[in-house]
Amino acid sequence: MGLFSRKSNDTPANPQMTELGREYAIARRHGDRKTMGRITRQLGTSGASENDRNSFEQGRDAYDAIPPIKPTRNRRKGR
């Protein structure tokens, strides 16, 4: 693998928890506190194991690694 290769062989132990972590990261980026609270409660009541929490963090970190898209400038403003 190269120096800047993004490929990794880290497969999550629980794909459902990985997806839940991704949803949490999306909600946090968009400021959706209701969804963040729902996911936090769901994670707390499920009695997740250490592997599940690691999968959750992998999904969250994978989405956080993607840089946000800057909105284009509206040049028509003020005309």
Dump pLDDT digits (tens) for 27-60. 999 999 999 999 999 988 877 788 888 999 999 9
CA-based nearest residue to 36, from 17, 22, 46, 49:
22
pLDDT given for residue 70 in this prediction: 84
pLDDT given for residue 77 in this prediction: 61
Structure tokens at 37: 């609270």
pTM assigned to the model: 0.72
| Mean pLDDT in residue range 59-67 | 91
Q: Are 27 and 66 in contact (CB under 8 A)?
A: no
Q: In terms of C-beta density within 10 A (0-12 exposed, 13-18 middle, 19 or more buried), how is residue 36 classed?
A: middle
Rounded Cα distance, 40 and 32, in Å: 12
Dump pLDDT digits (tens) for 4-35. 566 665 676 788 889 999 999 999 999 999 99
